[in-house]
């Protein structure tokens, strides 16, 4: 049964609960472009101001999840495919180290990046500062990368939860993306469509994060946990107080540089610790380590003995970075000043005030590379 978009929109406007059929109708129309952008904008604002209840969030999530095909993985990878989602931009840098470290520990770790709207950009934007790096891959190519390397950083394929991308884009311009219900539904729709076996979701909270308070973070964690039980996949939610940027560098190519130092055991200790912590939980969830602590030891080991770094090189090569650039990059990795021979350097620099307290985010509102 089809419902008229305007009726659905007006129903939500008036604070009434939408049914599964109504939610599905509007999500499908958004995906196919069968709804006027003004109606979609008005709908998103009505959802934002009126709120979505538990059932509506679940229906929104399902409608987006089933808007494309579901990923299928080789059966021998059972329980082995894990990934990390993070609500904060500071965690993104950790992913750059985590991906090769996880691959070095023998699990499959695809990072399927959604387009980033924050100031620094997503992890893919960072890797694209390396000449030749390509993140656009088909489902088939992603499978090949996981087979050959064990990790990859690619854009979410266009046939996986396509409606989710459309709705997320629209929410960003309609001023409604700063909304827990949307974020949760989008995050879980992606993970579910990707058919990951286990996922660790990192919810850092603090002044410079998307989630500001512990209460918000805990409520988000509870909602994600509820959605998890609906889907039956393993989700571990970590809620951590973060009142300062992880590591010492912010900006696209600067973060690549810091991640490479970390993979050579000469990065900042807080970043190293974060990677170890997240990785330990991931290995535990994937059944590779008996406890998160045992997992942590293993992650530390593959970083210390250079296996993770080798895996990072392998991944860059498999994703299009040519031999000579890779060689220059690896040679320069211990000295960020030498990175500029390969990575771009910003033309414009600005002083960022961190408010009263040294080292804290404080009044920081924008960062650039």
Structure token digits, residue 246: 């992880």
Query: Segment near its own copies (CB under 8 A), from 40-48, 66-74, 181-189, 201-209?
Result: 40-48
Q: How far is the CB of 11 from its own copies (least distance, A)?
A: 9
Of 37-45, 78-86, 87-95, 153-161, the segment contacting its own copies by CB under 8 A is 37-45
* Selected binder of its own copies within 20, 45, 338, 344 (CB under 8 A): 45
By beta-carbon proximity to its own copies, the closer residue of 37 and 230 is 37
* Segment interacting with its own copies, rule: CB under 8 A, options 33-41, 191-199, 339-347, 351-359: 33-41
Work out how close the CB of 205 gets to its own copies at its nearest, in angstroms, rounded to a whole number: 21
Binding pattern for the stretch 205-224 against its own copies, x by CB under 8 A and - elsewhere: --------------------
Residue whose C-alpha is closest to residue 90's, from 275, 214, 330, 263: 275
Task: From 36-44, 122-130, 137-145, 185-193, give the range in contact with its own copies by CB under 8 A.
Answer: 36-44
Is the Cβ of residue 51 or residue 362 nearer to its own copies in the bound state?
51
The reply to whether 6 sits near its own copies by the rule CB under 8 A is yes
Contact between 173 and its own copies per CB under 8 A: yes
Question: In terms of CB distance, is 13 or 115 closer to its own copies?
Answer: 13
Give the 3-state DSSP-derived string for the chain, with helices as H, strands as E and coil as C. CCCCHHHHHHHHHCCCCCCHHHHHHHHHHHHHCCCCHHHHHHHHHHHHHHCCCHHHHHHHHHHHHCCCCCCCCCHHHCCCEEEEEECCCCCHHHHHHHHHHHHHCCCEEEEEECCCCCCCCCHHHHHCCCCCCCCCCCHHHHHHHHHHCCEEEEECCCCCCHHHHHHHHHHHHCCCCCCHHHHHHHHHHHHHHHCCCEEEEEEEECCCCCECCHHHHHHHHHHHHHHHHHHCCEEEEEEEECCCCCCCCCCHHHHHHHHHHHHCCCCCHHHHHHHHHHHHHHHHHCCCCCCHHHHHHHHHHHHHCCHHHHHHHHHHHHCCCCHHHHHHHHHCCCCHHHHHHCCCCCCCCCCCCCCCCCCCCCCCCCCCC
Looking at the Cβ atoms of 38 and 222, the one nearer to its own copies is 38
Please pick, from the candidates 32, 33, 37, 355, the single residue that binds its own copies as defined by CB under 8 A: 37
120 belongs to the binding site for its own copies (CB under 8 A): no
Task: Pick the binder of its own copies from 3, 28, 50, 364 (CB under 8 A).
Answer: 50
The stretch among 41-49, 138-146, 225-233, 282-290 that binds its own copies (CB under 8 A) is: 41-49
Nearer to its own copies, 16 or 357 (CB): 16
Nearer to its own copies, 89 or 176 (CB): 176
Q: How far is CA 119 from CA 122, 231, 250, 355, 365, in A?
A: 9, 32, 10, 19, 9
Using alpha carbons only, what angle is made at residue 24 by residues 226 and 117, rounded to the nearest 5 degrees? 70
x-or-dash string of contact with its own copies, 130-169, rule CB under 8 A? ----------------------------------------
| Residue 51 makes contact with its own copies by CB under 8 A | no
* Alpha-carbon span 84 to 200, nearest angstrom: 5
Number of residues in contact with its own copies, rule: CB under 8 A?
A: 23
Residue 346 as a binder of its own copies (CB under 8 A): the answer is: no
CB of 26 to its own copies, least distance (A): 12
Residue closer to its own copies (CB basis): 49 or 294: 49
Alpha-carbon distance of 86 to 287, in angstroms, equals 21
Contact residues for its own copies, defined by CB under 8 A: 6, 9-10, 13, 36-46, 48-50, 170, 173-176
């Amino acid at each position: 049964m089809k419902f008229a978009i305007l009726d659905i929109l007006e129903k939500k406007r008036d604070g009434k609960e939408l049914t599964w059929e109504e939610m599905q109708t509007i999500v499908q129309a958004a995906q196919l472009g069968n709804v006027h952008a003004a109606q979609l904008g008005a709908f998103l604002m009505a959802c934002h101001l009126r709120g979505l209840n538990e059932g509506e969030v679940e229906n929104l999530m399902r409608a987006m999840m089933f808007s494309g095909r579901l990923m299928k993985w080789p059966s021998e990878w059972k329980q082995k495919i894990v990934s990390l989602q993070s609500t904060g931009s500071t965690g993104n840098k950790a992913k750059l180290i985590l991906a090769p470290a996880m691959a070095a520990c023998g699990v499959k770790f695809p990072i399927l990046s959604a387009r980033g709207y924050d100031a620094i950009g997503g992890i893919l934007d960072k890797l694209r500062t390396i000449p030749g790096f390509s993140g656009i891959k088909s489902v088939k190519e992603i499978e090949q990368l996981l087979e050959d390397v064990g990790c990859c950083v690619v854009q979410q394929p266009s046939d996986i939860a396509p409606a989710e991308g459309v709705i997320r884009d629209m929410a960003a311009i309609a001023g409604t993306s700063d909304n827990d219900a949307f974020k949760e539904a989008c995050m879980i729709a992606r993970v579910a469509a990707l058919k990951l076996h286990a996922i660790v979701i990192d919810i850092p909270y603090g002044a410079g994060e998307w989630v500001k308070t512990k209460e918000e973070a805990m409520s988000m964690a509870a909602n994600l946990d509820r959605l998890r039980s609906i889907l039956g996949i393993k989700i571990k939610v970590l809620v951590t107080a973060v009142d300062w940027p992880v590591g010492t560098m912010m900006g696209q190519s600067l973060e690549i540089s810091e991640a490479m130092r970390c993979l050579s055991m000469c990065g900042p200790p807080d970043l190293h610790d974060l990677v170890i912590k997240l990785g330990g939980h991931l290995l535990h969830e994937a059944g590779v380590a008996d406890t998160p602590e045992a997992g942590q030891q293993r992650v530390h080991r593959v970083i210390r003995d250079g296996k993770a770094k080798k895996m990072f090189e392998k991944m860059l090569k498999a994703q299009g970075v040519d031999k000579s650039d890779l060689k220059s990059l690896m040679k320069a990795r211990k000295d960020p000043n030498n990175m500029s021979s390969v990575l771009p350097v910003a033309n414009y620099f600005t002083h960022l005030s961190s408010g009263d307290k040294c080292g804290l985010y404080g009044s920081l509102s924008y960062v650039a590379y």
